[in-house]
Structure 1
Amino acid sequence: MAQRGPQRRRGYGAAVAWSLVAVVLGYAVLDVADAAPGVLTMRPLPPPPPTETVATRTLPLVPQPSLPTSAGPLLPSLAGDAEAPSIEGVTKALAAVRSLAALRDSALVVRDGQTGQVLFDQRGSEPRIPASTTKLLSATAIGQVFAPDETLRTVVREGDRPDQVVLVAGGDSLLNPGKGDPEAVAGRAGLRDLAEQVAERLKAQGTRRVTLYVDETYADGPTTAPTWAPTFRGSGITGAVAMLGLSTQRARGGAPGPADPVAAVRDAFARQLGSLGVTVVLAPRGRAPGVPGSPLPTPGPSVTTAPTPQTSTATPTAPAGGPGAVLGSVESAPVREQLALALTDSDNALTEILSRQAAYRSGAGTAFAQVGAWVVSQVGALGLDTRGVSLSDASGLSRENRIRADLLSDVLVLGYDGQHPVLRQALDGLPIGGLTGTMADRLAGADHDAAGRARAKTGTLTGANALAGSVVDDSGRLLVFVGMVAGAGTNEARAALDRFVAAIASCGCR
């Protein structure tokens, strides 16, 4: 009996210790999900669907702030015909902000979003760690490969025999495990719909038992980057990068996706076929029967070739019957909507998946560093200066990435010129200050002047914070801004960058 007290105290102490560990881990998850401040990579909450207005020098569609969001007066007209701010006015407006300790080592750039004129540039030519603002460059590159309304097609075709069916990975990582939702971006194409098409074809030809293969030759590559921390996938900071995936298994902070998304889709599809009366035997992973990568994941009558890794060989489209015949197919939401979702949610895996496909279609390699180098080359092909810029991935998780603030501003100005609709919709999907996503708890309090009218891509890695986007100022003029901070704490850097945006939003700066 005399020993029970110490034992209870030791048990109580252990319980307290484990509780503290749980709290710390929980906070880390919230930090990753951008639900709490911290030093880990941020992920935003999903905002409403992005808007789109593509025209010459059009302004982003920004909702009027409500009184709880901003105590200021209603915004002026967004006609965009107001006088542009002056260099002197912007410099004066930023004098107090630039003196903040958190901005001691920072690169700051302000541009007129309608003319592109540089209004302020502080060390904008210095290459810095960009974190998730890397995604702006990736969106620019992706937009040069995919047509504005292009979708991704997931196909099931016959193998060499009627009892062989091949699920062809076509790049859609947002498949609904059930019926597709025509109003959704994640889940537009449904595995149930695909299974019903295939089961109907199989039963019509008298086939009730099949061997299911998966063709993974399209844009195949590693699932994680060597420059990422080993914990990134397991903690949900990113999902595995693969050309098939389920919308219900997207990785989120604290909720990791599967290590093998392709196997998860294959197994779900086999279950769907089984429920429709088709017996399925899973084939070993490896080469599938038939033409590798056929048919192309791009729908429509213009499909006349079938890709193989790193090459394109002229191959007729699959015949209506017999070996290689298409048994069923479903189409994703347009790539530009997926790209907008990737930026809105700061979805690292989805950004990598779309970037890898775009690089593959351009003939580049599919390793992470190869895709990053391709992104830089595509941005340079638009006539933008990429000196000193290097990318080891397309999402911004790598600390080896280097981007200049003035190049990010070039990309933002380019996005509003009316000539790049895929990039434009991606920018319209950026979170809104004080309202949505990563920016929902930003630009509040004393910095409310920019709430409801600033859209920005955030980025945070330990010791590196960034904010890049656009804001409509008090005169209705569209301004583009980029801020990149090194060496400051996360809370201090975020607060200083918010003040930077609020200052240019409210000054008029004439």
Structure 2
Amino acid sequence: MAVATYGVLDAHDKVPGILTIDRDPSPLASPAPGVPSTTATDGSQASRVVVPTPIPPVARSAASSGAPQPAAAALRSALAPALADPRLGRSVGLTVRDGMTGAHLLDVAADQPRTPASTTKLLTAAAVVPSLGPETRLRTTTVLAPDGRVVLRAGGDMMLARGPSRPGEVEGHAGVGTLAAQTAAALRSAGRTTVTLGLDTTYADGEDYAPTWDRAYYPEAIVGKVATLGLADGLVAPGRPGPADPAGEVAEVLRSELGRAGISVRGDLVRAAAPGGSRPLAAVSSAPVADVMAVALARSDNAVTESLARQAAVRAGAGGGFAEVARWVQAELARRGHDVTGVRLVDTSGLSKGTEVPARLVGDVIVAGTSGRDPGMARVVEDLPVAGLSGTLAGRYVSGPAASGAGLVRAKTGTLTGISSLGGTVVDADGRLLAFAVLADGIPSSSGTEGARAALDALVARLASCGCR
């Protein structure tokens, strides 16, 4: 029991350990004005996810397209003390780039592959969002089979509401209750009030658990089952594992909601592909893929990230296995012009051991968004957690040397035993937008998770407070 408890704390970054979830370290923190938040449908504050507006007011007013670019020599001098902080150890890769031109301002061992932990999700987002399309919506549908069976067809949405659709939110944007009401209306129009129920999960099908993940990760709420159909309140949260059968849970909610709508559902659930000749009944659609990915990054949700990557890979003609999807992400990054030398992806979420990435590549994909070269990645960067305000950075940059970065840094975090990483953007003292990536994978045990984070945050905050000319 003690080992399991330690594993959960480790996964949620409360103690040092091999696991990574990177959840919001301060779930009770209130979002800033204009930064909407969503909570689990059970009202749990522990699972709050804050999705920032495209640019928070403080960053919008600070950034300026006419601001001067920092000088490389001055930047190196300003960051040298922070890079030498013993809490970061001796294995640090750093790249600092001009956010508008992509010019390399400072590189420190930036080509050496290092373990990025959950910062891996930035690479996945850089492949998935542009490939699927930022505005693409994931459709969950019902069809009427020739034998009178209503078949629920998965379409990739793992964030369905149990009841009515909530169009103003990402989690629960599409609701099973709304799908049931529309389905019931179509059935009554066809003169049917009694049906059987089927479930078709053949869309982007694959294993629900990676062979490289410890089997204990699921009961410890470190990762949920990877699926293409699920409920928003089934996403894992501290102390709350996900359902063993996400798609089956949605089917049972649909059964109940159809009953409420006056349609009697008899017999057991039939799991099979919808037969030829089935007629459409109803459909509900998720929030845009870019917004779904934003929630996955804000929560650092491994299962949602893997699900989106699998859908993109399958649509592109690759296989749906974890290793196949990881290979597709790497190939897609290369196809989009990124240098993937030294990259080794074991999965697409950063949960598995063995993934290695140079800081340079993390910087490359961020610049693709900040420079406007890749509109899909621009959406990803805009929606990254904001220092002191949202997601996994809500409780960071709120005091001490890092406080100068509050509201000005937005980044994806990564944490494993001996590893701390950040990749994102910062507005410097002159108003220039900079892109950065820093991977430290030799953190001494004496630093601990909190010490390493404090050192990393102080380094990035130095970028915010330095004009460096």
1:116 to 90, 93, 102: 102
Q: For 1:337, what is the secondary structure of its paired residue?
A: helix
Q: For 1:64, what is the secondary structure of its paired residue?
A: helix
CA distance in 2, matches of 1:282, 1:399: 44
Q: Match for residue 192 of structure 2? A: 207
CA distance in 2, matches of 1:41, 1:154: 30
Q: In the TM superposition, what are the counterparts of 1:403-442 in structure 2 within 5 Å?
A: 403-442=357-396
- Pair 1:77–1:108, CA change in 2 (3 A): closer
- Pair 1:281–1:482, CA change in 2 (3 A): same
Q: For 1:240, what is the secondary structure of its paired residue?
A: coil
Q: Match for residue 144 of structure 1? A: 130
Give the AA of the match of 2:401.
Answer: A
1:268 to 223, 244, 253: 253
CA distance in 2, matches of 1:243, 1:125: 36
Q: Match for residue 412 of structure 2? A: 457
User: Which region of structure 1 is more displaced relative to structure 2, 332-341 or 417-426?
Assistant: 417-426
1:335 to 2:289 alignment? yes
Q: In the TM superposition, what are the counterparts of 1:88-99 in structure 2 within 5 Å?
A: 88-99=73-84
CA distance in 1, matches of 2:176, 2:358: 42
CA distance in 2, matches of 1:414, 1:48: 24
1:165 to 2:144 alignment? no
**8 Å CA contact 2:366, 2:377 repeated in 1:** no
Q: Match for residue 42 of structure 1? A: 21
2:118 to 132, 145, 158: 132
Q: For 2:51, what is the secondary structure of its paired residue?
A: coil
User: Which region of structure 1 is more displaced relative to structure 2, 180-189 or 41-50?
Assistant: 41-50
Deviations 1:464-505 (A, max 9, x none): 221111110000011111111123132232122112102222
Question: How many angstroms does 1:49 deviate by?
Answer: 3.2
**8 Å CA contact 2:52, 2:390 repeated in 1:** no
CA distance in 2, matches of 1:449, 1:423: 26
1:63 to 2:48 alignment? no
CA distance in 1, matches of 2:424, 2:222: 23
User: Which region of structure 1 is more displaced relative to structure 2, 334-343 or 144-153?
Assistant: 144-153
1:101 to 76, 81, 86: 86
**8 Å CA contact 2:101, 2:371 repeated in 1:** no
Question: How many angstroms does 1:345 deviate by?
Answer: 1.5
Question: How many angstroms does 1:80 deviate by?
Answer: 2.5
Deviations 1:432-490 (A, max 9, x none): 11222211222231221212200011001122221111110000011111111123132
1:280 to 2:259 alignment? no
Q: Match for residue 481 of structure 1? A: 436
Q: For 2:211, what is the secondary structure of its paired residue?
A: coil
User: Which region of structure 1 is more displaced relative to structure 2, 37-46 or 262-271?
Assistant: 37-46
User: Which region of structure 1 is more displaced relative to structure 2, 201-210 or 214-223?
Assistant: 201-210
Give the AA of the match of 2:56.
Answer: V
**8 Å CA contact 1:405, 1:484 repeated in 2:** yes
CA RMSD for the aligned pairs?
A: 2.0
Give the AA of the match of 2:11.
Answer: V
Q: For 2:77, what is the secondary structure of its paired residue?
A: helix
Q: How many positions carry a matched residue from both structures? A: 439
Q: For 1:94, what is the secondary structure of its paired residue?
A: helix
Q: Match for residue 217 of structure 1? A: 202
Question: How many angstroms does 1:28 deviate by?
Answer: 5.3
- Pair 1:186–1:76, CA change in 2 (3 A): closer
**8 Å CA contact 1:63, 1:453 repeated in 2:** no
CA distance in 2, matches of 1:329, 1:483: 43
TM-score (norm 1): 0.82
Q: Match for residue 38 of structure 2? A: none
1:467 to 2:446 alignment? no
**8 Å CA contact 1:76, 1:474 repeated in 2:** no
Instruction: Tell me the percent identity.
Output: 43
1:363 to 2:317 alignment? yes
Question: How many angstroms does 1:398 deviate by?
Answer: 0.9
Give the AA of the match of 2:234.
Answer: Q
Q: Match for residue 294 of structure 1? A: none
CA distance in 1, matches of 2:49, 2:138: 23
- Pair 1:474–1:367, CA change in 2 (3 A): same
Deviations 1:263-322 (A, max 9, x none): 10111111111222222135455433414xxxxxxxxxxxxxxxxxxxxxxxxxxxxxxx
Q: For 1:490, what is the secondary structure of its paired residue?
A: helix
**8 Å CA contact 1:51, 1:425 repeated in 2:** no
Deviations 1:112-168 (A, max 9, x none): 11111111111111111111111111111112222332111111001122x211111
CA distance in 2, matches of 1:116, 1:509: 17
Q: For 1:245, what is the secondary structure of its paired residue?
A: strand
CA distance in 2, matches of 1:168, 1:141: 26
CA distance in 1, matches of 2:342, 2:249: 40
Q: Note the residue ranges of structure 2 that are not aligned, 5 or more in a row.
A: 25-47
Q: Note the residue ranges of structure 1 that are not aligned, 5 or more in a row.
A: 1-17, 53-60, 66-74, 292-322
Q: Match for residue 468 of structure 2? A: 509
Deviations 1:9-45 (A, max 9, x none): xxxxxxxxx9xx5xx86675455334x3533413333
Question: How many angstroms does 1:242 deviate by?
Answer: 0.5
